[in-house]
Structures are given as structure tokens and as C-alpha cells.
Amino acid sequence: MTSAQIRYYTKKLKDYLALKTEMVSHQAIIKEVASGVERSWVYYLMLLMSGLIALLGLLTNSVAVVIGAMLISPLMGPIISSGLALTIGDLPLARRAFRTIAVSVVLTVLVTALMTLLSPLKEPTSEILGRVRPNIYDLFIAVLSGIVGAVALCTKRNYLITATGVAVATAVIPPLSVAGYGLGTGQLMLGMGGFLLFFTNFVAIVLTSDLVFFIMGFRTSHVKTIQYSQRTRLLVIGGLLTLISIPLVYTLVVDIRKVNAKKRIERVLKKHLNQQHASRMTGYTYQSRKNELQIRATVNTVRVIPQAVGKKIEQDLQADFKAPVNLYLEQVLVASERLPEQVETSQPREESPTEVQAKVARLVNQAERELTTLLAPFPVRNVRLSFATQAQPLGLSAVVRRDWPVNEDELLQLTRQLEKALQLPLIASFRTAPLLPTLLLDDDGSLARESQQALSLIAQLPGGVSGYRLHLEASGRNDRLLATVVRRHLTTSLGVPESSISTQYKRNTARQPKATLRIVRR
């Protein structure tokens, strides 16, 4: 395309935009947008109700409830108003818009955090976890939504329907509820992730609507109040873009690394497991736990793959990732049209006692690792497997070190997770044992070092210490001194509220005082 053609098409585009901007009622739209930042009891009522409804939908993992909260949220009005204020340089409108947004954000986060503290449901659901890690695609969605919302406002074509769709697409209220959830449960990283998603949507909508309003002919001449200078507006826009780009670029880099890691793992697995007429990999999963790469691969094979192959795969991956690798290879024996000569098809080979013992030990270790992850930070001990007949499921029993029993819902969830991990049907049963050992004093009257180390587990309780009650029972001649020392350590060193601790004294003539501490859910 020649320069003359470029100038021609540029002039045609300018003429077209000039024609369209003449059809826009600028003063009426400015007046309508300015009314969107007016705060009243109705605005705050709708804001808080939408935030609480979103929180309940997140806690119950209900997509429909979360969408309902998006539809009634009034927060899109001040956000669009702030974009117009930047375009026309209206300082009073910008102040009112940003003040309304700031008050709305703080109020929503605090109220949802308080509701989370009062709620019996505190476990993170998939709806919550899906809003704690924004990436570049969330930014693109917000950019497109801001363009659509501003164009619909200027042209007045299906604005009500379009504004509803923009609210659903950007979803500015559920991320704030996630931020409140993270604050209420003490999971600050989850809360920061939710707030980052809100901030991403907010900045993208403001900047893209600012661009659309400018194209539609909105200028500083449309207002008579003190205006932002063009330099100030550019500094604000550039600063916001820089601020939001840092975390989004970071998450993009992390996602790219995950994709590359997945490709590297798949390449090594296929190299060793995809053997013509012998074996083929059908799937795999991987995750990093405590600086160790754990990989679970499934392979169809006509004969058992030797352990040496698995060791070779682990060595290749360790050399590639510079980290320990643990490979779990699930082998499914199948028939082939071209079986190797050494494969006997008449009768299946019976496994030797040594092979059976090794397989059972492998299952026990795998089950113990899975339970340790699911029940953390509570230790799991004495994991055992029992076999009846081939028609009956596998029996699994374990001891959980904690002070309240495993209920039916938790038992069902743990059983399903174990069946998924072991790829075997099973019946699970759990016994509980005291979480903490007996607490003792040193000769100088301070809490023994072993007891302090045991009590440090309290800082790792899921959801924070506020969701638990602590029952302290002291005995011995100096039982009151020991109880006082333990309570002081709990409140000052571990941040346990004084109201969460109850104390009971059990008189006896023992010379050395002892104490037991039981931790139970509220």
C-alpha cells in the first residue's frame, strides 16, 4: 500500500468518526455518567448485598449465585465515570468517582471478611481458587469489555443489556469478595490474588473507556471546571499501566514456564515409554511439592516395564530440571497383535511373595504421602492395607494425630481422593490420637524447648487459630505455674486469643507438673 493510499484511507476514517461523533449528545452523556458516582443508601445497600451474595456463591461453589451477584453490583457506574473524567479532565468528577470506588472497595472487603469469620464454611472452593491468579487473558477480557461498555453508552444502543454483559464479563465484585475471604481466613496470598484481579479489571476498563470517549469526541472543552492538564492525564495513565503490567507479566512468565515444563516432561516420558509393539503412554500428571517434582504416568504395555526404565526416566528429568524427581508408573497390561516371543499368553505369571510385598509397600507409601498432603498439618501414622477377596475393596486404616474425629463427610472425601490416587476401590477408616505431647517445664521455670517446638504447629492450623478452641489441663504441684507459662506462650508467641483458651486443674502429688493441650474446632 502506497503512502497516498494510506493518507486517503486515514482521511476517510477521520471523516467517518467525525460524522459519528456529531451524533453523540456529549453533555447529556456527561450528565448521566456523573450521576453514576452519586452515593446513597441505595447504592451501598446494592453494593453490600452483591458482595455478600458473591461471597456465599464462592463458599458454596455455586456459579449461578456468583453470576447473580455480578448482575446487581452497582460498581460499574463509578468505574466508567472515572474513565470519562480522565478524558475530559474533569477534576471534581474524577475525585468523586475515585473516592466512591475507594470507599466501595474498602467497605466490600471488610464486610465480606467479617462474614467469612462468622461463616462455618471456610475451605477454598474451585470458584475461589479460579480468581486468585489473574493472567494476561483477564486483562484482554477487561480491555474488550471496557470498549464495548463505553461504545454502548455513547451510542445508546442496547445499553442496559450491554452494561449487564460487561458486568458479567469483567466480574468486578467477586474478586473483592475473594479478597475479603482471604482477609477473613488469614490467607493473605489468596486475598492479594483476588484484589489483583479486581485491580486488573478496574484499570483496563478505565483506560479503554478513556480511549473510546476520546475517539467519540469528548474533550476538555465540554467542562467548565478546573481540568487536568494533558501531561497529568498521560502520567496517570502511564503510571497505572506500569503498575498493572508488573504482576501480570510475572504470572505470564510463570504460565509460560509451566507450559515449557510440561513439554519437557512429556518429551522424556514418550522417549522411554512409547515403544513400538511394546508400550505406549496414555496420560500423565505432575506437581511440585517441597522442591520435588512428582510425576504420575499411565502406560499400556504388553509386559511389565522394568524398574530400571523408571530410574532412567527419573535421572533424565533430574538432569533437566536440576531437582529431585519421583516417578509413579501405573502399568496396564494389554494384548498386542504382535506380542514379543518372550511374552507367555497361555497363563498369567503369578507374582512372587517379594513382588507382592514390594507392591503393597509402594501402595502404603503412596497412600501415606497422599494423606499427609490432604490432612496437613496434622501428622498421619500407622497406614495399613488389608486384603480380603478379589471381589471386595481394599481396606485402609490410619491414625491421624489430632484432637477431634474424622466425620462422615471428611471420610467420604478422603476415600474418594485415595481411590483416585491409588486407582483402586477401597474402604477407609481412621482413628485419632492426641495431637500434642505432654507439656513440661524446665528447671528454671520456663517452658521446655521440646514443648515449644510441639506448640509451633498451632501457627499452621488451617484457617488460623481463631477457628479453634484450646483446652489446657494441668496437674502436679506447680500446675498453676505451668498453666500460666503455657497460656503466656500461646497468647504472646503464637497469637492465640485469650478467650479461645480454657484451663482445668487436676490435683495430684506428682513432683513435676505436666499439662496436656487439646485443640478442637469451634
Q: In terms of domains, do 382 and 415 share one? A: yes
pLDDT of residue 213: 79
Cβ-proximal residues to 197 (8 Å cutoff; 6+ apart), any chain:
131, 132, 134, 138, 175, 178
Q: Which residue in this structure is represented by grid cell 463427610? A: 409
The pLDDT value given to residue 339: 46
Q: Is the model's pLDDT at 111 over the cut of 90? A: yes
The stretch 35-57 carries a mean pLDDT of 84
Percent of the chain residues topping a pLDDT of 70: 78
Structural domain includes residue 8: yes
pLDDT band at 343 (very low <50, low <70, confident <90, very high): very low
Looking at residue 159, its pLDDT comes to 47
Residue 235 confidence (pLDDT) above 90: no
Contact (CB, 8 A) for 520 and 480: no
d(CA 23, CA 237): 28
Average pLDDT over residues 387-412: 80
Tens digit of pLDDT for each residue in 351-374?
A: 666 766 777 788 888 888 888 888
Strand (E) or helix (H) holding 486 = helix 479-488
Strand partners, 331: 299
* Band of pLDDT at residue 161, cut at 50, 70 and 90: very low
**Which is higher by pLDDT, 53 or 446?**
53
Higher local confidence (pLDDT), 489 or 353? 489
pLDDT over threshold 90, residue 384:
no
Mean pLDDT throughout 38-51? 85
Cβ burial of 170 (10 Å; 0-12, 13-18, 19+) is buried
Distance CA 148, CA 166 (A): 7
Rounded to whole angstroms, how far apart are CA atoms 159 and 25?
15
Check whether residue 324 and residue 402 sit in a common domain.
no
Tell whether 391 and 493 lie within a shared domain: no
Least confident of 48-57, 108-117, 196-205, 239-248: 239-248
* Per-residue confidence (pLDDT) for residue 162, from 0 to 100: 45
Q: Mean pLDDT score of the chain, rounded to an integer?
A: 78
Same domain for 37 and 165, yes or no, is: yes
- Name the domain count of the chain: 4
Q: What CATH number should be reported for the domain holding residue 463?
A: 3.30.360
Domain assignment present for residue 239? The answer is no
Per-residue pLDDT for 64 more than 70?
Answer: yes
Residue 24, pLDDT above cutoff 80: no
Q: Residue 228: is its pLDDT beyond 60?
A: no
Bridge partners, 327 (sequence order)? 295
Does residue 98 surpass a pLDDT of 90?
no
Mean pLDDT within 180-201: 86
pLDDT tens for residues 82-91? Answer: 878 877 777 7
β strands within 177-267, DSSP E: none
The reply to whether 67 and 132 lie within a common domain is: yes
Q: Are residues 185 and 292 in the same domain?
A: no
* Alpha-carbon span 221 to 224, nearest angstrom: 7
For residue 49, CA distances in Å to 26, 38, 42, 72 come to 33, 18, 10, 8
pLDDT of residue 252: 65
Q: Average pLDDT of 131-152?
A: 75
The per-residue pLDDT for range 417-446, each reduced to its tens digit, is 888 887 778 888 888 989 888 888 887 778
Give mean pLDDT, residues 231-246.
Answer: 66
CATH code, domain carrying 53: 1.20.1080
Residues 490 and 402 in one domain: no
The pLDDT score that the predictor gives to residue 87 is 79
- Is position 245 within any domain? no
The answer on pLDDT for 227 being more than 60 is no
- Residue 455 contacts residue 494 (beta carbons within 8 Å): yes
pLDDT at 217 over 90: no
The pLDDT value recorded for residue 391 is 60
Amino acid making up residue 466: S
Packing angle, helices 26-35 and 136-155, rounded to 10: 120
Closest alpha carbon to 266 in 289, 283, 253: 283
User: CATH number of the domain that 264 lies in?
Assistant: 3.30.300.20
Q: Please indicate, yes or no, if residue 484 is contained in any of the structural domains.
A: yes
Same-domain check for residues 155 and 12:
yes
| 3-class SS of residue 432 | strand
User: Rounded mean pLDDT of 39-44?
Assistant: 82
- Which residues 6+ apart lie within 8 Å of 163 measured at CB? 76, 149, 152, 153
User: 25 CB contacts (<8 Å, ≥6 apart)?
Assistant: none
At residue 10, the 3 state secondary structure works out as helix
Neighbours of 22 (CB within 10 A): 8
Find out whether 304 and 271 touch, Cβ atoms under 8 Å. Answer: no
Residue 338 binned pLDDT confidence (cut-offs 50, 70, 90): low
Unique residue bearing C-alpha cell 447529556: 28
**Is 331 found in the same domain as 386?**
no
On whether residue 236 sits in a domain, the answer given is no
Range 87-110 average pLDDT: 85
Categorize the per-residue pLDDT at 465 as very low, low, confident or very high, splitting at 50, 70 and 90: confident
Residue 66 has pLDDT above 60, yes or no: yes
**What CATH number does residue 362 fall under?**
3.30.1340
Question: Looking at per-residue confidence, does 208 or 6 come out higher?
Answer: 208
Is residue 506 included in any domain, yes or no?
A: yes
My answer on whether 101 and 185 are in the same domain is: yes
Asked whether residue 247 is assigned to any structural domain, the reply reads: no
Q: Are residues 268 and 129 in the same domain?
A: no
Structural domain for 220, as ranges = 3-228
CB neighbour list of residue 450: distance below 8 Å, 6 or more residues apart? 437, 440
Q: Which residue reads 499427609 in cell numbers? A: 372
- Structural domain contains residue 204: yes
Distance CA 463, CA 461 (A): 6
Range among 280-284, 289-293, 476-480 rated most confident: 280-284
Which residues does 465 contact at the CB level (< 8 Å), separation at least 6? 458, 459, 494, 495, 496, 497, 500
- Do 262 and 195 lie in one domain? The reply is no
Is the pLDDT at 344 greater than 50? The verdict is no
Classify each residue of 272-281 as buried b or exposed e, where b means 16 or more C-beta atoms within 10 Å of its C-beta: bbebeebbeb
The predicted structure's pLDDT at residue 112? 93
Contact between residue 83 and residue 52 where contact means Cβ atoms under 8 Å apart:
no
